């Protein structure tokens, strides 16, 4: 351990990358730490339709993120790929302990985002990667001409189900209510798509199969009736994609930082309850989790970190 950075940004999704851009441009010595690929949730999103100024129909999550990453590099933020296991956030110097080393900074921006909520059915763990997936962009091509089911009724479920219709011969959306939560414009496209089918008022109770997923027990929550869905014998399997919301990536900060339902509490300027510790993006308590709000959070957090550092001197 040697260098004490001005600011460490944990997470390189849209919030972390925007923070990296603003911190770097402000000539703060900046380190961005990410454990996997840049982009967080949008790295696995096929189509981005609502980021202001983009070319419509031409923007995918990975393409947008690639440009954000390049912009951060241009303004001088350092990068490291590591999994942080422990954080010490109190005091004037914050320490983050990872598998590869320890990192220190006077300010920290937490932008660790959120991850997909499990479907919650019996045997789910046994079939993740063997029929069950949480990423259409990653796994759709495995289901070329197969049958696919999607659980959820929000923007993600409907958009990703539509994406899956480009690969699967039939896509059935399973939703626990009889109306979708997704934006009306997205719903309209889905209802018009001839490959889309809907199972309303239904939850998946159990999944099964020899090696690969080929059986599913679906319960109608109004009638209690259970329908057994079996893979077509010629196929031998079907796909089941879960898009039922997100869970915050905040376990690392438990007991150190104020949270609400696992999301970090901040004020409008991204300050947490600990001086010098900021949070940005999906990880914080907020009303709208979108790329545009994540990027805005990141920019605010970086500028507030700069102000905090100036006042420390
Ligand atoms: P979401 O909006 O929270 O929707 C989650 C869906 O899953 C809801 O329909 C919910 O049902 C259902 N659900 C929740 N828990 C469930 C359970 N245990 N079993 C079965 N179903 C369950 O999540 P999201 O679609 O992932 O979106 C997250 C955020 O990203 C939202 O703010 C969304 O607007 C945004 N987003 C935006 C876009 C876009 O604008 N293009 C694309 C993707 C995501 P109920 O409806 O009954 O509650």
CA distance 193 to 230: 24
pLDDT score of 24:
97
Instruction: Answer yes or no: is pLDDT of 288 > 80.
Output: yes
Residue 154 CA to ligand 1 centre (angstroms) = 4
| Helices then strands, each counted (H, E), the chain | 7, 19
Residue whose C-alpha is closest to residue 72's, from 44, 32, 112: 32
Q: Which residue CA neighbors atom 22 of ligand 1 most closely?
A: 244
pLDDT score of 1:
55
Number of other CB atoms surrounding residue 242 within 10 Å: 26
Return the CA Rg of the chain.
21
Instruction: Answer yes or no: is pLDDT of 293 > 60.
Output: yes
Is ligand 1 within 6 A of the CB of residue 244?
yes
Is ligand 1 within 6 A of the CB of residue 118?
no
Q: Pick the catalytic residue: 6, 38, 139, 214?
A: 139
Tell me if residue 204 falls in helix, strand or coil.
strand
Is ligand 1 within 6 A of the CB of residue 54?
no
Instruction: Answer yes or no: is pLDDT of 13 > 80.
Output: yes
pLDDT mean over 57-61: 81
The average confidence (pLDDT) of the chain is 95
Residue, of 76 and 1, whose pLDDT is higher: 76
For the chain, which domains are there? 4-116+246-312 (3.50.50.60), 124-242 (3.50.50.60)
Cβ atoms 219, 226 nearer than 8 A: yes
CA distance 207 to 204: 8
Query: Going along 44-175, which residue ranges are E strands?
Result: 78-81, 84-88, 94-98, 102-110, 114-116, 132-133, 147-151, 170-174
Cβ atoms 6, 278 nearer than 8 A: no
Q: Which of 62-66, 85-89, 229-233 has the lowest mean pLDDT?
A: 62-66
Is ligand 1 within 6 A of the CB of residue 131?
no
Is ligand 1 within 6 A of the CB of residue 181?
yes
pLDDT mean over 134-152: 93
Mutation choice for ligand 1 from 151, 156, 173, 283, CB with most ligand atoms inside 8 A: 156
- Is residue 119 very low, low, confident or very high in pLDDT (cuts 50, 70, 90)? very high
Rounded to two decimals, the pTM is 0.82
The Cα diameter of the chain in Å comes to 70
Is ligand 1 within 6 A of the CB of residue 177?
yes
Instruction: Answer yes or no: is pLDDT of 61 > 90.
Output: no
Quick: pLDDT tens for 188-227: 999 999 999 999 999 999 999 999 999 999 999 999 999 9
User: Is residue 139 flagged as an active site residue?
Assistant: yes
CA distance 275 to 311: 11
User: Is residue 135 flagged as an active site residue?
Assistant: yes
For the chain, what percent of residues have pLDDT higher than 90? 88
pLDDT mean over 234-261: 96
Cβ atoms 111, 11 nearer than 8 A: yes
Chain Cα centroid distance, residue 100: 24
Residues in the chain, overall count: 313
Instruction: Answer yes or no: is pLDDT of 128 > 80.
Output: yes
Mutation choice for ligand 1 from 152, 201, 294, CB with most ligand atoms inside 8 A: 152
User: Is residue 27 flagged as an active site residue?
Assistant: no
Instruction: Answer yes or no: is pLDDT of 284 > 90.
Output: yes
pLDDT score of 308:
98
Cβ atoms 246, 116 nearer than 8 A: yes
Q: Pick the catalytic residue: 82, 135, 208, 235?
A: 135
pLDDT score of 42:
85
Instruction: Answer yes or no: is pLDDT of 260 > 90.
Output: yes
pLDDT score of 138:
81
CA distance 269 to 234: 57
């Amino acid at each position: 351990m040697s260098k004490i950075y001005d600011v460490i940004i944990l997470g390189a999704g849209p919030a972390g990358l925007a923070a990296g851009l603003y911190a770097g441009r402000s000539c703060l010595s900046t380190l961005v730490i990410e454990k996997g690929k840049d982009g967080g949730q949008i790295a696995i999103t096929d189509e981005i339709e609502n980021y202001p100024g983009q070319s419509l129909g031409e923007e995918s999550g990975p393409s947008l993120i690639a440009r954000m990453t390049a912009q951060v590099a241009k303004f001088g933020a350092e990068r490291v790929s590591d999994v942080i296991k422990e954080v010490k956030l109190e005091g004037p110097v914050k320490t983050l302990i990872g598998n590869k080393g320890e990192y220190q900074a006077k300010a920290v921006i937490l932008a660790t985002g959120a991850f997909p909520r499990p479907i919650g059915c019996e045997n789910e763990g046994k079939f993740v990667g063997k029929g069950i997936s949480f990423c259409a962009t990653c796994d759709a091509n495995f289901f070329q001409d197969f049958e696919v089911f999607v659980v959820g009724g929000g923007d993600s479920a409907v958009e990703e189900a539509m994406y899956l219709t480009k690969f699967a011969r039939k896509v059935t959306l399973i939703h626990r209510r009889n109306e979708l939560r997704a934006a009306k414009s997205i719903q309209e496209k889905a209802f018009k798509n001839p490959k889309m089918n809907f199972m309303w008022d239904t939850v998946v109770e159990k999944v099964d199969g020899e090696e690969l997923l080929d059986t599913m027990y679906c319960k109608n929550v109004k009638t209690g009736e259970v329908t057994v869905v079996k893979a077509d014998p010629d196929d031998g399997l079907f796909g089941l994609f879960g898009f039922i919301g997100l869970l915050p990536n905040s376990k690392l900060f438990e007991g150190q930082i104020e949270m609400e339902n696992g999301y970090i509490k901040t004020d409008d300027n991204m300050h947490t309850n600990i001086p010098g510790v900021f949070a940005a993006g999906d990880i914080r308590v907020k009303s709208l989790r979108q790329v545009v709000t994540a990027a805005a959070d990141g920019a605010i957090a970086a500028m507030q970190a700069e102000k905090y550092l100036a006042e420390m001197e």
